[in-house]
């Protein structure tokens, strides 16, 4: 089992293409996508088409729901909201229908056990809470039965390991997945990283480890397209800082 897991592409085609090249170069051909194909960036239609073609499983994120009118947009900050409104104008009807039909969570079957996939939290997949603290993790471990849960949404990669006594440990790097222990793993963001590293982020999982991979992409090209589309300046700037 060697699976690539990507999330939070956010219409960033340059980042997505670079990540897919990296995945193929490693000979991996199974890709799971944890949601937020669109929002923020300049290439929503190309990103949806490419994800649709390349990914074995696709989930919806809050931005995907917002552009299809399935979640309120008042909850987004002004810049995110402006990008959502631009995306609504830009997306084809076919791509909107495709996004609208995606599930918010899914159980993914593997030969070595099922994995729970969700964009935000196992507890309330469609309320779009962030799972950020150990307290959040402690609660959410009760809302999936599988050994491993993979998430996105906060754009910050991490591994939270829970041992048999309930004690939790956080890892930020490659982690060996120990027999019998349970895990919540955030795979980071392809199109808008927020952990201070501007490179695109994704994860590779094999039978007993998870590895985060960082990939350089043409940030300047994405920024140029965003400016040409009239997308908000702070969204353009943050890409070069990874914040
Ligand atoms: Zn996101």
Predicted pLDDT at 112: 85
Contact between 239 and 219 (Cβ < 8 Å): yes
Residue 169 CA to ligand 1 center (angstroms) comes to 24
User: Residue 210 is part of which domain span?
Assistant: 2-241
Q: What is the pLDDT of residues 168-195, one digit of tens each?
A: 999 999 999 999 999 999 999 999 999 9
| Structural tokens at position 2 | 């060697």
Residue 40 CA to ligand 1 center (angstroms) comes to 9
Residue 9 CA to ligand 1 center (angstroms) comes to 7
Q: How many CA atoms lie within 13 A of 41 on its CB side?
A: 29
Residue with token string 């490419």: 50
How many beta carbons lie within 10 A of that of residue 115, not counting itself?
A: 24
Pairing, β 2-6 against β 31-33: parallel
Whole-Å CA distances, 116 to 78, 104, 125, 184: 32, 11, 11, 9
Residue 238 CA to ligand 1 center (angstroms) comes to 14
Q: What is the pLDDT of residues 144-175, one digit of tens each?
A: 999 999 999 999 999 999 999 999 999 999 99
Q: How many domains does the chain have?
A: 1
Residue 170 CA to ligand 1 center (angstroms) comes to 21
Is 46's pLDDT higher than 80? yes
Residues with CB under 5 A from ligand 1 (ion): 8, 36
Predicted pLDDT at 10: 98
Mean pLDDT for 76-99 is 96
| Structural tokens at position 152 | 């996105």
Predicted pLDDT at 70: 87
Q: Give the sign of the dihedral formed by CA 118, CA 123, CA 129, CA 133.
A: negative
Residue 61 CA to ligand 1 center (angstroms) comes to 7
Q: Could you give the CA distance from residue 80 to residue 94 in angstroms, rounded to a whole number?
A: 23
Residue 165 CA to ligand 1 center (angstroms) comes to 32
Q: Could you give the CA distance from residue 232 to residue 243 in angstroms, rounded to a whole number?
A: 15
Residue 180 CA to ligand 1 center (angstroms) comes to 30
Residue 36 CA to ligand 1 center (angstroms) comes to 5
CATH number at residue 56: 3.60.21.10
Q: What is the distance in angstroms between the CA of the first residue and the CA of the last residue of the chain? A: 32
Residue 8 CA to ligand 1 center (angstroms) comes to 4
E-strand ranges in 60-157 read 105-108, 115-118, 148-151
Q: Residue 236: in which H helix or E strand, if any?
A: helix 233-241
Contact between 66 and 40 (Cβ < 8 Å): no
Predicted pLDDT at 72: 85
Q: What is the 3-state secondary structure (H, E, C) of 154-207?
A: CCCCEEEEECCCCCEEEECCCEECCCCCEEEEECCCCCCCCCCCCCEEEEEEEC
Residue 179 CA to ligand 1 center (angstroms) comes to 31
Residue 154 CA to ligand 1 center (angstroms) comes to 6
Confidence label for 75 from pLDDT (cuts 50, 70 and 90): confident
Residue 163 CA to ligand 1 center (angstroms) comes to 29
């Amino acid at each position: 089992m060697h699976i690539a897991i990507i999330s939070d592409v956010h219409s960033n085609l340059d980042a997505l293409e670079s990540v897919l090249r990296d995945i193929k170069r490693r000979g991996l051909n199974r890709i799971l996508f944890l949601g937020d194909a669109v929002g923020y960036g300049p290439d929503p239609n190309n990103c949806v088409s490419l994800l649709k073609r390349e990914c074995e499983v696709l989930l919806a994120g809050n931005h995907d729901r917002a552009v299809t009118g399935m979640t309120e947009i008042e909850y987004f900050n002004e810049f995110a909201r402006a990008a959502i409104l631009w995306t609504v104008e830009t997306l084809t009807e076919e791509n909107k229908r495709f996004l609208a039909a995606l599930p918010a969570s899914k159980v993914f079957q593997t030969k070595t056990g099922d994995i729970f996939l969700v964009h935000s939290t196992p507890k309330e997949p469609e309320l779009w809470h962030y799972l950020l603290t150990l307290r959040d993790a402690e609660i959410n471990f009760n809302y999936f039965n599988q050994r491993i849960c993979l998430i996105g949404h906060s754009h910050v990669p991490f591994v939270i390991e829970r041992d048999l006594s309930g004690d939790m440990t956080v890892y930020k790097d490659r982690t060996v997945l120990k027999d019998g222990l349970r895990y919540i793993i955030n795979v980071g963001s392809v199109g808008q990283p927020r952990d201070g590293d501007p490179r695109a982020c994704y994860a590779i999982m094999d039978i007993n480890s998870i590895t985060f991979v960082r990939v350089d992409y043409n940030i300047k090209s994405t920024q140029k397209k965003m400016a040409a589309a009239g997308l908000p300046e702070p969204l353009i700037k943050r890409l070069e800082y990874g914040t």
